[in-house]
Every structure is written in C-alpha cells, then in structure tokens.
Amino acid sequence: MIKRAAGERGTANMGWLNSKHTFSFGHYYDPQHMGFGDLRVINEDRVIPGAGFDTHGHRDMEIISYVLEGALEHKDSEGNHSIIRPGEVQRMTAGSGIRHSEFNASETDPVHFLQIWVLPDREGLKPGYEQKEFPESEKRGTLRLVASKNGDLGSVTLNQDVNLFSGLFDGDESDRIELNPGRKAWVQVARGEVEVNGEPLRAGDGLAVTDANVIEVSKGRNAEVLAFDLRAH
C-alpha cells in the first residue's frame, strides 16, 4: 500500500478556483504521479459562487463529476443541461469530441466537487452522458457500487473495466470489497477520517493498493470514501 497524502498533491489557485491534483494535470507535472492504471485524474475543486469553467473541449476520456457540497451546473454540445448535487454521480463520455461548461449553480454558496478522469477502453466513442442519484441511505456504512462497466446494481455505466464504489462511514461502521486476481485498487478519502486496511487516512488522502485481495474500510469519523477497483496492468 502506498499513501498519497493530501498535502503532497499539486495545487492550482486562480482566485475563482482552488484545485488539488492527486495526479499530474494542467501546469502540475510529476512523472511519479501520472495516474494509477486506467485512473488518470482526481481533482478536488472548489469554485466560488457564480464562477466556473467556460465552454471547452475533451476527447477520448470518461469524466466523472462527484459533488460534495453545493451544486454544479453542466451544459454540453450534445444538448445536455443539468444540475449536479451531493449524492449524484455524473458520467460524461468525451469520445470523438464534446464541448461542455461547468459552473457553480449558486450565486451565494461555493461548490466543492471531485472531477475524475478514467481512460476509455477504446477511442472514438460516441459522446454520451448519464447522471444518477445514490441516496445517503444506500451508502451509509457500506461501499455502494456507483459506476461500472455494465451498469450493475443500477450504477452509472463506464466505458472501461472499472468499478467505482462510494461509502459513508462513522463510528463502528465498516465494509469490505473483494478484489479478484489481476486487480488493484485506489481509495480516495473525500472528507473526514477513516482507516483502509488498517492505514489511517484523512480528507484528501489517497491510497494505492496492489497485491491485495480485499479493501476494508473501518473506523470512520464523518468519512466519505471513493474506492476504485481497477485492472492491474
């Protein structure tokens, strides 16, 4: 297990945006942290009221938006327009090319969210979009599947062999997921404190797990956790 501490991440502060980069992104480049398997980007973004990312383009990437606080407004060139709120997961397939904007939907409150990029299983896919809500009750004390290759258990679909779990843990709550042979995992703590396979982690920390057959989350303190089950290549 290799810990990626919150304070070691890259940073970008543009006034309207305060961003922390787990992996190399934009002007932040670290050859030791270019991603983890098919997981390429985890950015923790905070955007001030009324501000956001103007229309820009992407290609050949699965982009997941996971809102922790506030509301994020999404518009894209495929005609999709939505507001993403806590408890919802949005997946945008950039594929052969898509343009979109993301803005804080509030003029008074900040928005705090994770932007996650996953490499697709092939290039040139048809651009696509999906958004689903996963109530707190479904994540309380358990790792709930929220994104997967085949949309299992009502999860958002991904064009890659990745299983993404989300869970809320406090006190004695705990859960575990089994990793099949040839798999590895990345665990990202979105908020609070928790132990993963006995390793203490706090908000912003990540943990790379290889050569293990289980991920166990326990001893949370107001914790929200994302766990990625990935190919081990």
Where do the domains of the chain lie?
9-134, 137-231
Q: What percent of the chain has pLDDT over 90?
A: 88
Spatial strand order of the sheet with 128-133 comes to 10-13, 17-21, 39-47, 111-118, 62-69, 88-93, 128-133
The CATH code of the domain at 9-134 is 2.60.120.10
Rounded distance, CA 208 to CA 171, Å?
24
Measured between alpha carbons, how far is residue 95 from residues 14, 59, 79, 181 in Å? 28, 5, 15, 29
CA 7 to chain centre: 18
pLDDT digits (tens, 9 = 90+) for 24-54: 999 999 999 999 999 999 999 999 999 988 8
Q: Are 224 and 192 in contact (CB under 8 A)?
A: yes
Q: Do domains 9-134 and 137-231 have the same CATH topology?
A: yes
> Hey, what CATH topology would domain 137-231 get?
Jelly Rolls (2.60.120)
How high is the pLDDT of residue 52?
Answer: 87
Q: What is the pTM of this model?
A: 0.96
pLDDT digits (tens, 9 = 90+) for 171-189: 999 999 999 999 999 999 9
pLDDT digits (tens, 9 = 90+) for 99-144: 888 999 999 999 999 999 999 999 999 999 999 999 999 999 999 9
